[in-house]
Structure 1
Amino acid sequence: MNRRIHYFAALAVMMLFGIASNTAYAETIHMYVEKMPQHWQKQFDGLLEEAAKYWEKKIPGLKFETVKFVDQSDFVVQWTSQHGEGKIGYYSEDTSNAYGKPTMAVTLGYFADKNLNLVSYEHALLVTKHELGHALGMPHSDNPDDAMYPTVDDYESLQIQSSQSVRISVNDWNAASGKYQKLSGETIIPLALLLDDAKVHLNSASFESQSEYDAVWMHYWWAKKYLVEAERLQIEGGSHVLESNYEESYHAFKSSYENALKAKQKIEQVLSYTKER
Protein backbone atom coordinates (compact mmCIF):
# COMPACT_ATOMS: atom_id res chain seq x y z
CA MET A 1 0.00 0.00 0.00
CA ASN A 2 1.15 3.53 -0.73
CA ARG A 3 2.81 4.64 2.50
CA ARG A 4 1.05 7.99 2.76
CA ILE A 5 -2.30 6.24 2.28
CA HIS A 6 -1.25 3.79 5.03
CA TYR A 7 -0.67 6.80 7.28
CA PHE A 8 -4.22 8.03 6.71
CA ALA A 9 -5.61 4.56 7.44
CA ALA A 10 -3.88 4.54 10.82
CA LEU A 11 -5.05 8.08 11.55
CA ALA A 12 -8.62 7.22 10.57
CA VAL A 13 -8.70 4.38 13.08
CA MET A 14 -7.60 6.81 15.78
CA MET A 15 -10.32 9.24 14.76
CA LEU A 16 -12.94 6.52 15.22
CA PHE A 17 -12.20 6.74 18.95
CA GLY A 18 -12.11 10.53 19.08
CA ILE A 19 -8.38 10.30 19.79
CA ALA A 20 -6.91 13.72 19.16
CA SER A 21 -3.97 14.18 16.83
CA ASN A 22 -1.76 17.25 16.88
CA THR A 23 0.02 16.26 13.69
CA ALA A 24 0.55 18.92 11.06
CA TYR A 25 0.91 16.21 8.44
CA ALA A 26 -1.04 17.07 5.29
CA GLU A 27 -1.24 15.12 2.07
CA THR A 28 -3.21 15.07 -1.13
CA ILE A 29 -4.47 11.86 -2.72
CA HIS A 30 -4.67 12.13 -6.49
CA MET A 31 -7.40 10.36 -8.46
CA TYR A 32 -7.76 9.89 -12.19
CA VAL A 33 -11.52 9.70 -12.76
CA GLU A 34 -13.01 8.09 -15.85
CA LYS A 35 -15.68 10.25 -17.49
CA MET A 36 -19.14 9.21 -16.38
CA PRO A 37 -21.58 8.38 -19.23
CA GLN A 38 -23.56 11.52 -20.01
CA HIS A 39 -26.95 9.92 -19.43
CA TRP A 40 -25.88 9.09 -15.83
CA GLN A 41 -24.43 12.47 -14.96
CA LYS A 42 -27.70 14.14 -13.98
CA GLN A 43 -28.55 11.48 -11.36
CA PHE A 44 -25.05 11.10 -9.97
CA ASP A 45 -23.65 14.62 -10.28
CA GLY A 46 -21.35 15.44 -7.34
CA LEU A 47 -21.24 11.84 -6.10
CA LEU A 48 -17.46 11.45 -5.90
CA GLU A 49 -16.97 14.94 -4.48
CA GLU A 50 -19.45 14.28 -1.65
CA ALA A 51 -17.81 10.94 -0.80
CA ALA A 52 -14.36 12.56 -0.80
CA LYS A 53 -15.53 15.36 1.51
CA TYR A 54 -16.81 12.73 3.95
CA TRP A 55 -13.28 11.35 4.40
CA GLU A 56 -11.63 14.78 4.35
CA LYS A 57 -13.77 15.74 7.35
CA LYS A 58 -12.91 12.46 9.09
CA ILE A 59 -9.13 12.66 8.62
CA PRO A 60 -7.22 15.89 9.39
CA GLY A 61 -4.86 16.93 6.60
CA LEU A 62 -6.40 14.66 3.96
CA LYS A 63 -7.39 16.10 0.60
CA PHE A 64 -8.57 14.40 -2.59
CA GLU A 65 -7.86 15.92 -5.99
CA THR A 66 -8.60 14.74 -9.52
CA VAL A 67 -5.81 14.83 -12.11
CA LYS A 68 -5.82 14.99 -15.92
CA PHE A 69 -3.27 12.26 -16.52
CA VAL A 70 -3.20 8.68 -15.24
CA ASP A 71 0.51 8.72 -14.37
CA GLN A 72 -0.14 11.56 -11.90
CA SER A 73 -2.69 9.53 -9.94
CA ASP A 74 -2.55 7.26 -6.90
CA PHE A 75 -5.50 5.25 -8.25
CA VAL A 76 -8.16 5.28 -10.97
CA VAL A 77 -11.92 5.67 -10.40
CA GLN A 78 -14.24 3.83 -12.79
CA TRP A 79 -18.03 3.98 -13.21
CA THR A 80 -19.52 0.68 -14.33
CA SER A 81 -22.76 -1.16 -15.01
CA GLN A 82 -23.14 -4.71 -13.70
CA HIS A 83 -19.49 -5.64 -13.33
CA GLY A 84 -18.77 -9.13 -14.60
CA GLU A 85 -17.99 -10.58 -11.16
CA GLY A 86 -21.35 -9.41 -9.79
CA LYS A 87 -19.91 -6.87 -7.39
CA ILE A 88 -21.48 -3.45 -6.93
CA GLY A 89 -18.17 -1.87 -5.98
CA TYR A 90 -14.55 -2.78 -5.33
CA TYR A 91 -11.07 -1.41 -4.80
CA SER A 92 -8.07 -3.36 -6.07
CA GLU A 93 -4.35 -2.63 -5.73
CA ASP A 94 -3.63 -4.90 -8.67
CA THR A 95 -1.83 -2.80 -11.31
CA SER A 96 -1.90 -5.39 -14.09
CA ASN A 97 -4.55 -3.45 -16.02
CA ALA A 98 -4.69 -0.98 -18.89
CA TYR A 99 -3.89 1.91 -16.54
CA GLY A 100 -1.06 0.30 -14.60
CA LYS A 101 -2.65 1.72 -11.44
CA PRO A 102 -4.81 0.50 -8.54
CA THR A 103 -8.48 0.83 -9.47
CA MET A 104 -11.70 1.66 -7.67
CA ALA A 105 -14.99 0.83 -9.39
CA VAL A 106 -18.54 1.81 -8.47
CA THR A 107 -21.48 0.16 -10.22
CA LEU A 108 -24.23 2.64 -11.04
CA GLY A 109 -26.51 0.32 -12.98
CA TYR A 110 -27.51 -3.35 -13.07
CA PHE A 111 -29.61 -5.49 -15.38
CA ALA A 112 -32.95 -6.94 -14.26
CA ASP A 113 -35.69 -8.27 -16.56
CA LYS A 114 -33.48 -7.32 -19.53
CA ASN A 115 -33.57 -3.67 -18.48
CA LEU A 116 -30.73 -1.51 -17.13
CA ASN A 117 -31.73 -0.10 -13.73
CA LEU A 118 -29.81 2.71 -12.07
CA VAL A 119 -29.15 2.45 -8.35
CA SER A 120 -30.27 5.34 -6.15
CA TYR A 121 -27.92 8.26 -5.48
CA GLU A 122 -27.97 7.40 -1.77
CA HIS A 123 -26.90 3.80 -2.43
CA ALA A 124 -24.19 4.90 -4.88
CA LEU A 125 -22.90 7.37 -2.27
CA LEU A 126 -22.63 4.64 0.37
CA VAL A 127 -20.69 2.42 -2.03
CA THR A 128 -18.39 5.28 -3.12
CA LYS A 129 -17.60 6.25 0.48
CA HIS A 130 -16.94 2.60 1.29
CA GLU A 131 -14.59 2.01 -1.65
CA LEU A 132 -12.73 5.28 -1.03
CA GLY A 133 -12.18 4.00 2.50
CA HIS A 134 -10.62 0.84 1.08
CA ALA A 135 -8.43 3.01 -1.15
CA LEU A 136 -7.18 4.68 2.05
CA GLY A 137 -6.42 1.27 3.55
CA MET A 138 -9.47 0.97 5.78
CA PRO A 139 -10.72 -2.58 6.49
CA HIS A 140 -14.36 -3.56 7.01
CA SER A 141 -16.12 -2.48 10.19
CA ASP A 142 -18.66 -4.34 12.33
CA ASN A 143 -20.50 -1.13 13.19
CA PRO A 144 -23.59 -0.74 10.95
CA ASP A 145 -23.31 3.06 11.30
CA ASP A 146 -19.76 3.06 9.89
CA ALA A 147 -19.04 3.77 6.21
CA MET A 148 -16.81 0.68 6.20
CA TYR A 149 -19.61 -1.65 7.28
CA PRO A 150 -20.18 -4.12 4.41
CA THR A 151 -23.71 -3.76 3.04
CA VAL A 152 -25.11 -5.65 0.03
CA ASP A 153 -22.26 -6.43 -2.36
CA ASP A 154 -23.89 -8.14 -5.34
CA TYR A 155 -26.79 -7.56 -7.75
CA GLU A 156 -28.96 -10.35 -6.41
CA SER A 157 -28.78 -8.91 -2.88
CA LEU A 158 -29.40 -5.43 -4.23
CA GLN A 159 -32.56 -6.57 -6.01
CA ILE A 160 -33.87 -8.76 -3.23
CA GLN A 161 -32.73 -6.43 -0.38
CA SER A 162 -33.93 -8.87 2.21
CA SER A 163 -34.92 -12.51 2.51
CA GLN A 164 -37.63 -14.08 4.64
CA SER A 165 -36.34 -15.11 8.06
CA VAL A 166 -37.13 -18.42 9.67
CA ARG A 167 -39.61 -17.88 12.44
CA ILE A 168 -38.50 -18.91 15.91
CA SER A 169 -40.20 -18.49 19.24
CA VAL A 170 -39.62 -15.80 21.85
CA ASN A 171 -38.20 -18.44 24.20
CA ASP A 172 -35.70 -19.49 21.54
CA TRP A 173 -34.55 -15.90 21.05
CA ASN A 174 -34.31 -15.49 24.82
CA ALA A 175 -32.13 -18.58 25.17
CA ALA A 176 -29.86 -17.60 22.29
CA SER A 177 -29.61 -14.06 23.68
CA GLY A 178 -28.62 -15.37 27.12
CA LYS A 179 -25.95 -17.61 25.61
CA TYR A 180 -24.21 -14.76 23.80
CA GLN A 181 -24.67 -12.34 26.69
CA LYS A 182 -22.65 -14.75 28.85
CA LEU A 183 -20.00 -15.36 26.17
CA SER A 184 -19.66 -11.66 25.48
CA GLY A 185 -19.33 -10.72 29.14
CA GLU A 186 -16.75 -13.42 29.89
CA THR A 187 -14.65 -12.42 26.89
CA ILE A 188 -14.78 -8.67 27.48
CA ILE A 189 -13.90 -8.64 31.19
CA PRO A 190 -10.13 -9.38 30.92
CA LEU A 191 -9.56 -7.37 27.74
CA ALA A 192 -9.18 -3.91 29.28
CA LEU A 193 -6.22 -5.05 31.40
CA LEU A 194 -4.72 -6.93 28.46
CA LEU A 195 -5.04 -3.82 26.28
CA ASP A 196 -3.28 -1.69 28.91
CA ASP A 197 -0.55 -4.33 29.13
CA ALA A 198 -0.17 -4.29 25.35
CA LYS A 199 0.25 -0.51 25.34
CA VAL A 200 2.93 -0.67 28.04
CA HIS A 201 4.85 -3.23 26.01
CA LEU A 202 4.45 -1.18 22.82
CA ASN A 203 5.79 1.97 24.44
CA SER A 204 8.94 0.15 25.51
CA ALA A 205 9.45 -1.89 22.33
CA SER A 206 12.00 -1.11 19.63
CA PHE A 207 11.11 -1.18 15.95
CA GLU A 208 13.30 -1.86 12.96
CA SER A 209 11.40 0.51 10.67
CA GLN A 210 8.62 3.07 10.59
CA SER A 211 6.41 0.69 8.61
CA GLU A 212 6.83 -1.97 11.31
CA TYR A 213 5.98 0.60 13.98
CA ASP A 214 2.85 1.65 12.05
CA ALA A 215 1.72 -1.95 11.53
CA VAL A 216 1.98 -2.97 15.19
CA TRP A 217 0.31 0.19 16.46
CA MET A 218 -2.45 -0.40 13.88
CA HIS A 219 -3.15 -3.73 15.62
CA TYR A 220 -3.40 -1.87 18.94
CA TRP A 221 -5.85 0.76 17.65
CA TRP A 222 -8.04 -1.87 16.04
CA ALA A 223 -8.03 -3.84 19.30
CA LYS A 224 -9.24 -0.72 21.07
CA LYS A 225 -11.91 -0.06 18.44
CA TYR A 226 -13.23 -3.62 18.65
CA LEU A 227 -13.30 -3.50 22.46
CA VAL A 228 -15.15 -0.18 22.53
CA GLU A 229 -17.70 -1.57 20.07
CA ALA A 230 -18.05 -4.82 22.05
CA GLU A 231 -18.78 -2.85 25.23
CA ARG A 232 -21.28 -0.60 23.44
CA LEU A 233 -23.15 -3.58 21.99
CA GLN A 234 -23.17 -5.31 25.39
CA ILE A 235 -24.96 -2.29 26.88
CA GLU A 236 -27.31 -2.12 23.90
CA GLY A 237 -28.16 -5.81 24.31
CA GLY A 238 -28.97 -5.24 27.98
CA SER A 239 -31.36 -2.44 27.04
CA HIS A 240 -33.20 -4.76 24.64
CA VAL A 241 -33.49 -7.42 27.36
CA LEU A 242 -35.16 -4.90 29.67
CA GLU A 243 -37.73 -4.33 26.91
CA SER A 244 -38.13 -8.12 26.39
CA ASN A 245 -36.94 -7.66 22.81
CA TYR A 246 -34.88 -10.86 22.74
CA GLU A 247 -34.33 -11.04 19.00
CA GLU A 248 -32.61 -7.64 19.05
CA SER A 249 -30.69 -8.49 22.23
CA TYR A 250 -29.47 -11.70 20.59
CA HIS A 251 -28.06 -9.78 17.61
CA ALA A 252 -26.45 -7.17 19.87
CA PHE A 253 -24.84 -9.71 22.22
CA LYS A 254 -23.66 -11.88 19.32
CA SER A 255 -22.05 -8.87 17.62
CA SER A 256 -20.55 -7.87 20.97
CA TYR A 257 -19.00 -11.31 21.37
CA GLU A 258 -17.61 -11.26 17.81
CA ASN A 259 -16.05 -7.82 18.39
CA ALA A 260 -14.56 -8.98 21.68
CA LEU A 261 -12.94 -11.96 19.93
CA LYS A 262 -11.46 -9.65 17.30
CA ALA A 263 -10.13 -7.34 20.03
CA LYS A 264 -8.56 -10.32 21.78
CA GLN A 265 -6.91 -11.46 18.54
CA LYS A 266 -5.45 -8.01 17.87
CA ILE A 267 -4.12 -7.75 21.44
CA GLU A 268 -2.49 -11.15 21.10
CA GLN A 269 -0.79 -10.01 17.90
CA VAL A 270 0.63 -6.96 19.68
CA LEU A 271 1.82 -8.98 22.68
CA SER A 272 3.29 -11.65 20.43
CA TYR A 273 5.36 -9.04 18.62
CA THR A 274 6.58 -7.25 21.75
CA LYS A 275 7.52 -10.50 23.50
CA GLU A 276 9.80 -11.33 20.59
CA ARG A 277 11.75 -8.12 21.21
Structure 2
Amino acid sequence: MSRPMSRTDEVVDGVKRMILDGRLRPGDRLPVEKELAAELGVSRGSLREGVRALSILGVLDTRQGDGTYVTSLDPERLLAPMGFVIDLHGESDAESFHAVRRLLETEAAALAARSIDESGLAEARRLLDTAAGALHEEPLDHERLLETDIAFHRAIATAAGNPVLAALVETLASRTVRARLWRSRTDDDVVRRTHSEHEAILDALAAGDPDRARLRMAMHLIGVEDFVHSAGSTGAGGTGHPSQGG
Protein backbone atom coordinates (compact mmCIF):
# COMPACT_ATOMS: atom_id res chain seq x y z
CA MET A 1 0.00 0.00 0.00
CA SER A 2 1.40 3.40 -0.94
CA ARG A 3 1.80 5.99 1.79
CA PRO A 4 -0.52 9.02 1.82
CA MET A 5 0.93 12.06 0.06
CA SER A 6 2.16 14.67 2.52
CA ARG A 7 1.41 18.35 2.11
CA THR A 8 5.01 18.92 1.07
CA ASP A 9 4.66 16.21 -1.57
CA GLU A 10 1.50 17.91 -2.81
CA VAL A 11 3.43 21.15 -3.29
CA VAL A 12 6.23 19.36 -5.14
CA ASP A 13 3.73 17.50 -7.32
CA GLY A 14 1.68 20.65 -7.94
CA VAL A 15 4.64 22.75 -9.05
CA LYS A 16 5.86 19.87 -11.23
CA ARG A 17 2.45 19.74 -12.94
CA MET A 18 2.57 23.49 -13.54
CA ILE A 19 5.96 23.09 -15.23
CA LEU A 20 4.89 20.08 -17.31
CA ASP A 21 1.69 21.89 -18.37
CA GLY A 22 3.73 24.87 -19.51
CA ARG A 23 2.24 27.26 -16.97
CA LEU A 24 5.70 27.71 -15.49
CA ARG A 25 8.76 27.80 -17.72
CA PRO A 26 12.50 28.06 -16.98
CA GLY A 27 13.20 31.52 -15.62
CA ASP A 28 9.58 32.23 -14.65
CA ARG A 29 8.78 33.69 -11.28
CA LEU A 30 6.34 31.75 -9.09
CA PRO A 31 3.06 33.42 -8.11
CA VAL A 32 3.11 35.17 -4.75
CA GLU A 33 3.03 32.84 -1.77
CA LYS A 34 -0.59 33.49 -0.79
CA GLU A 35 -1.94 32.89 -4.29
CA LEU A 36 0.14 29.77 -4.94
CA ALA A 37 -0.76 28.23 -1.56
CA ALA A 38 -4.44 28.79 -2.30
CA GLU A 39 -4.14 27.28 -5.79
CA LEU A 40 -2.40 24.18 -4.47
CA GLY A 41 -4.73 23.89 -1.48
CA VAL A 42 -2.00 23.92 1.14
CA SER A 43 -0.96 26.17 4.00
CA ARG A 44 1.74 28.75 3.47
CA GLY A 45 3.98 26.78 5.83
CA SER A 46 3.57 23.63 3.73
CA LEU A 47 4.23 25.68 0.61
CA ARG A 48 7.51 26.93 2.05
CA GLU A 49 8.57 23.36 2.87
CA GLY A 50 7.75 22.27 -0.66
CA VAL A 51 9.66 25.20 -2.14
CA ARG A 52 12.68 24.32 -0.01
CA ALA A 53 12.53 20.71 -1.24
CA LEU A 54 12.31 21.84 -4.87
CA SER A 55 15.22 24.22 -4.31
CA ILE A 56 17.36 21.34 -3.05
CA LEU A 57 16.38 19.38 -6.16
CA GLY A 58 17.53 22.25 -8.36
CA VAL A 59 14.04 23.02 -9.70
CA LEU A 60 13.50 26.34 -7.92
CA ASP A 61 15.77 29.19 -6.91
CA THR A 62 14.69 31.51 -4.10
CA ARG A 63 16.24 34.97 -4.30
CA GLN A 64 16.16 36.98 -1.11
CA GLY A 65 13.83 39.95 -1.51
CA ASP A 66 13.01 39.09 -5.12
CA GLY A 67 10.90 35.94 -5.11
CA THR A 68 11.21 32.34 -6.23
CA TYR A 69 12.03 31.38 -9.81
CA VAL A 70 12.09 28.23 -11.89
CA THR A 71 15.71 27.39 -12.68
CA SER A 72 17.06 26.59 -16.13
CA LEU A 73 16.07 22.93 -15.45
CA ASP A 74 19.20 21.76 -17.28
CA PRO A 75 20.12 18.09 -16.65
CA GLU A 76 23.40 18.87 -14.89
CA ARG A 77 21.62 20.96 -12.27
CA LEU A 78 18.74 18.52 -11.78
CA LEU A 79 21.04 15.51 -11.50
CA ALA A 80 23.41 17.22 -9.06
CA PRO A 81 21.60 15.87 -5.94
CA MET A 82 22.47 12.36 -7.14
CA GLY A 83 26.08 13.28 -6.51
CA PHE A 84 25.27 13.57 -2.81
CA VAL A 85 24.05 9.97 -2.81
CA ILE A 86 27.19 8.82 -4.60
CA ASP A 87 29.41 10.70 -2.16
CA LEU A 88 27.62 8.96 0.73
CA HIS A 89 27.55 5.45 -0.72
CA GLY A 90 30.30 5.52 -3.33
CA GLU A 91 32.93 4.15 -0.98
CA SER A 92 30.89 1.29 0.46
CA ASP A 93 29.65 0.23 -2.98
CA ALA A 94 32.42 1.65 -5.14
CA GLU A 95 32.55 -1.25 -7.57
CA SER A 96 28.91 -0.85 -8.57
CA PHE A 97 29.23 2.88 -9.15
CA HIS A 98 32.43 2.52 -11.16
CA ALA A 99 30.87 -0.22 -13.30
CA VAL A 100 28.02 2.12 -14.23
CA ARG A 101 30.48 4.90 -14.88
CA ARG A 102 32.42 2.65 -17.28
CA LEU A 103 29.26 1.79 -19.22
CA LEU A 104 28.40 5.46 -19.64
CA GLU A 105 31.87 6.80 -20.38
CA THR A 106 32.71 4.18 -22.98
CA GLU A 107 29.61 5.15 -24.95
CA ALA A 108 30.36 8.83 -24.39
CA ALA A 109 33.80 8.28 -25.94
CA ALA A 110 32.27 6.54 -28.96
CA LEU A 111 29.76 9.36 -29.46
CA ALA A 112 32.49 11.96 -29.03
CA ALA A 113 34.59 10.29 -31.74
CA ARG A 114 31.71 10.86 -34.14
CA SER A 115 30.97 14.45 -33.22
CA ILE A 116 33.97 16.16 -31.59
CA ASP A 117 35.05 19.30 -33.45
CA GLU A 118 38.41 21.03 -33.77
CA SER A 119 37.86 23.19 -30.69
CA GLY A 120 36.96 20.11 -28.63
CA LEU A 121 40.08 18.30 -29.79
CA ALA A 122 42.18 21.38 -29.10
CA GLU A 123 40.83 21.61 -25.54
CA ALA A 124 41.49 17.92 -24.88
CA ARG A 125 45.01 18.34 -26.31
CA ARG A 126 45.62 21.36 -24.07
CA LEU A 127 44.55 19.41 -20.99
CA LEU A 128 46.86 16.49 -21.76
CA ASP A 129 49.74 18.88 -22.45
CA THR A 130 49.10 20.42 -19.02
CA ALA A 131 49.17 16.96 -17.46
CA ALA A 132 52.37 16.11 -19.33
CA GLY A 133 54.02 19.21 -17.89
CA ALA A 134 52.91 18.25 -14.39
CA LEU A 135 54.40 14.77 -14.84
CA HIS A 136 57.87 16.32 -15.19
CA GLU A 137 57.63 18.13 -11.85
CA GLU A 138 59.27 16.76 -8.72
CA PRO A 139 57.45 15.99 -6.57
CA LEU A 140 54.37 15.30 -8.69
CA ASP A 141 51.60 17.83 -8.24
CA HIS A 142 48.78 15.36 -7.66
CA GLU A 143 46.17 18.07 -7.19
CA ARG A 144 46.96 19.56 -10.59
CA LEU A 145 46.87 16.11 -12.19
CA LEU A 146 43.52 15.43 -10.53
CA GLU A 147 42.05 18.63 -11.95
CA THR A 148 43.26 17.88 -15.47
CA ASP A 149 41.99 14.30 -15.20
CA ILE A 150 38.51 15.53 -14.27
CA ALA A 151 38.55 18.17 -17.01
CA PHE A 152 39.68 15.67 -19.67
CA HIS A 153 36.86 13.23 -18.95
CA ARG A 154 34.39 16.11 -18.76
CA ALA A 155 35.52 17.39 -22.16
CA ILE A 156 34.88 13.99 -23.74
CA ALA A 157 31.44 13.67 -22.16
CA THR A 158 30.54 17.16 -23.35
CA ALA A 159 31.78 16.41 -26.87
CA ALA A 160 29.41 13.43 -27.00
CA GLY A 161 26.65 15.98 -27.58
CA ASN A 162 24.13 14.51 -25.12
CA PRO A 163 23.64 16.79 -22.09
CA VAL A 164 21.91 14.09 -20.05
CA LEU A 165 24.77 11.66 -20.63
CA ALA A 166 27.30 14.38 -19.82
CA ALA A 167 25.47 15.19 -16.58
CA LEU A 168 25.36 11.54 -15.53
CA VAL A 169 29.07 11.10 -16.25
CA GLU A 170 29.87 14.25 -14.31
CA THR A 171 27.85 13.00 -11.34
CA LEU A 172 29.23 9.46 -11.30
CA ALA A 173 32.79 10.71 -11.69
CA SER A 174 32.45 13.53 -9.17
CA ARG A 175 35.46 15.27 -7.74
CA THR A 176 34.90 13.57 -4.38
CA VAL A 177 34.97 10.11 -5.99
CA ARG A 178 38.06 10.95 -8.04
CA ALA A 179 39.86 12.45 -5.03
CA ARG A 180 39.44 9.18 -3.12
CA LEU A 181 41.20 7.34 -5.91
CA TRP A 182 44.00 9.85 -6.23
CA ARG A 183 44.58 10.06 -2.47
CA SER A 184 45.19 6.32 -2.36
CA ARG A 185 47.90 6.33 -5.05
CA THR A 186 51.08 4.54 -4.06
CA ASP A 187 52.89 4.29 -7.40
CA ASP A 188 53.71 7.35 -9.53
CA ASP A 189 54.37 5.05 -12.51
CA VAL A 190 50.62 4.34 -12.57
CA VAL A 191 49.96 8.08 -12.87
CA ARG A 192 52.13 8.13 -15.96
CA ARG A 193 50.39 5.08 -17.36
CA THR A 194 47.08 6.82 -16.85
CA HIS A 195 48.39 9.71 -18.93
CA SER A 196 49.40 7.31 -21.71
CA GLU A 197 45.91 5.82 -21.66
CA HIS A 198 44.44 9.32 -21.97
CA GLU A 199 46.70 9.95 -24.98
CA ALA A 200 45.42 6.75 -26.61
CA ILE A 201 41.83 7.87 -26.05
CA LEU A 202 42.56 11.24 -27.62
CA ASP A 203 44.23 9.57 -30.63
CA ALA A 204 41.05 7.57 -31.21
CA LEU A 205 38.92 10.71 -30.96
CA ALA A 206 41.16 12.58 -33.39
CA ALA A 207 40.93 9.67 -35.82
CA GLY A 208 37.14 9.77 -35.60
CA ASP A 209 37.11 6.06 -34.72
CA PRO A 210 34.15 5.30 -32.38
CA ASP A 211 35.04 1.63 -31.87
CA ARG A 212 38.63 2.38 -30.92
CA ALA A 213 37.56 5.27 -28.67
CA ARG A 214 35.10 2.99 -26.90
CA LEU A 215 37.76 0.30 -26.48
CA ARG A 216 40.45 2.69 -25.25
CA MET A 217 38.11 4.23 -22.69
CA ALA A 218 36.94 0.78 -21.55
CA MET A 219 40.52 -0.42 -21.06
CA HIS A 220 41.33 2.72 -19.10
CA LEU A 221 38.33 2.44 -16.79
CA ILE A 222 38.66 -1.31 -16.31
CA GLY A 223 42.04 -0.48 -14.78
CA VAL A 224 40.25 1.87 -12.38
CA GLU A 225 37.76 -0.86 -11.51
CA ASP A 226 40.57 -3.36 -10.92
CA PHE A 227 42.13 -0.98 -8.44
CA VAL A 228 38.80 -0.33 -6.71
CA HIS A 229 38.23 -4.07 -6.39
CA SER A 230 41.74 -4.63 -5.07
CA ALA A 231 41.47 -1.74 -2.62
CA GLY A 232 38.20 -3.15 -1.36
CA SER A 233 39.83 -6.53 -0.80
CA THR A 234 42.89 -5.22 1.00
CA GLY A 235 41.34 -2.25 2.80
CA ALA A 236 41.80 1.45 2.13
CA GLY A 237 45.29 2.17 0.96
CA GLY A 238 45.94 -1.55 0.53
CA THR A 239 48.82 -2.76 -1.56
CA GLY A 240 47.08 -5.48 -3.58
CA HIS A 241 47.31 -3.32 -6.72
CA PRO A 242 48.93 -0.03 -7.55
CA SER A 243 46.72 2.99 -7.45
CA GLN A 244 44.93 4.31 -10.50
CA GLY A 245 43.83 7.72 -11.68
CA GLY A 246 40.58 7.96 -13.48
TM-score normalized with structure 1 length: 0.24
Structure with more strand by fraction: 1
Structure with more helix by fraction: 2
